[in-house]
Amino acid sequence: MAASAPFASVSNRLLDRLSREDRTRVLESCEAQDLEFSQVLAQPGDAMEFAYFPTGSFISLLVPMGSQSALEVSLAGNEGFYGVPLALGIAISPVQALVQGSGTAWRISAARLRREMARLPGLRDCIDRYIHVVMSQVIQTAGCTRYHLIEQRLARWLLMTADRAHRPVVPITHEFLAYMLGVRRVGITEAALALQARGLIAYTRGVVTIVDRRGLERAACPCYRLDLANYELAFQ
């Protein structure tokens, strides 16, 4: 890999931002969890009992569109946090939360999160900034899904995912990509073939490998870069 992924550590970057004292406090309220690929943390309307600070894992937030399709509106890895509604005082999930990458996470109960956020202004500030990032991501995605080509969107999604997986290899089927990007399967197959023909990715038996990261960044819509810029701006 020539260029390193923007999110290259396996600790949680939100927790890393806290003072040592605050971080210790929060971690004392957390328990280490292993999240499994395709595990569903919540369906729309479900009560939310826990929030997660992913370290190695990452979680996809999907709005269902009928039963056959959905749209991914946000992706939370170790740069972020899963549990925005809880942080906003709501205990019901509006979206489907699906573990997209298996791995570790710090889990905290809703009650403890509420308590620690009230006690630690540093935690409140950090999570508020992340909520701003999520809103920006949702807004960006609305424009992206409407106006950008499937090939650009696929490139964006692969980059976002590889960043959160901390490696250039993404296990994923075309069916699932189609489900998440809210497009037909044949559209994904065509887009993946086009990216492969340009030497940017290699696709074999349900695994996508990013071969040329810089090239893939050029093939992606500007949304990928803008998401990263928004994150940096929110936390500068």
Partner 1 sequence: MPSAQQNHLLEALSAEELLRLRPRLEPIVLAAEEVIYEAGRPLEYVYFPTTCIVSLMYGLEDGSSAEIAVVGNEGVVGVSLFMGGASTPSRAVVQCAGEAYRLPGPLIMEEFTRGGPVQHLLLRYIQSLITHMAQTAVCNRRHAVDQQLCRWLLLTLDRLTDMEIAMTQEHIASILGVRREGVTEAAGKLQKAGVIAYRRGQIKVLDRPKLEALSCECYEVVRKETERLLPWVPPH
Q: Closest separation between CB of residue 211 and partner 1, Å? A: 26
Q: Which of residues 109-148 bind partner 1 (CB under 8 A)?
A: 118, 121, 125, 128-129, 131-132, 134-136, 138-148
Among 94, 122, 171, 215, binds partner 1 (CB under 8 A): 94
Among 34, 169, 222, 232, binds partner 1 (CB under 8 A): 222
Rounded CA-CA distance 48/106 in Å is 15
The Cβ of residue 29 has, within 10 Å, a number of other Cβ atoms equal to 15
Site string for partner 1, 15-34 (x = CB under 8 A): --------------------
User: Applying CB under 8 A, does 152 fall inside the site for partner 1?
Assistant: no
Q: Among candidates 1, 28, 46, which has minimal Cα distance to 112?
A: 28
**Contact range with partner 1 by CB under 8 A, out of 2-10, 75-83, 91-99, 212-220:** 91-99
User: Applying CB under 8 A, does 90 fall inside the site for partner 1?
Assistant: yes
Q: Closest separation between CB of residue 139 and partner 1, Å? A: 5
CB 72 within 8 Å of CB 180: yes
**What angle, 0 to 180 degrees and rounded to 10, lies between the N-to-C axes of helices 20-28 and 121-147?**
80
Pinpoint the alpha helices (H) of the chain.
Answer: 13-16, 20-28, 84-87, 110-119, 121-147, 150-165, 174-181, 185-197, 213-219, 223-235
Query: Residues with Cβ < 8 Å from 195, sequence gap 6 or more?
Result: 151, 154, 155, 201, 216, 219
Q: Give the 3-state secondary structure of residue 55.
A: coil
**Contact range with partner 1 by CB under 8 A, out of 52-60, 84-92, 171-179, 195-203:** 84-92
Tokens of 173: 């089927």
Closest CB to partner 1 among 42 and 71? 71
User: Applying CB under 8 A, does 63 fall inside the site for partner 1?
Assistant: yes
Site string for partner 1, 174-203 (x = CB under 8 A): --------x---------------------
Rounded CA-CA distance 8/165 in Å is 9
Q: Give the 3-state secondary structure of residue 60.
A: strand
Q: Closest separation between CB of residue 61 and partner 1, Å? A: 8
Rounded CA-CA distance 174/153 in Å is 14
Q: Closest separation between CB of residue 177 and partner 1, Å? A: 15
Positions that interact with partner 1 (CB under 8 A): 63, 65, 71, 73, 84-85, 87-90, 92, 94-95, 118, 121, 125, 128-129, 131-132, 134-136, 138-148, 182, 222, 230, 233-234
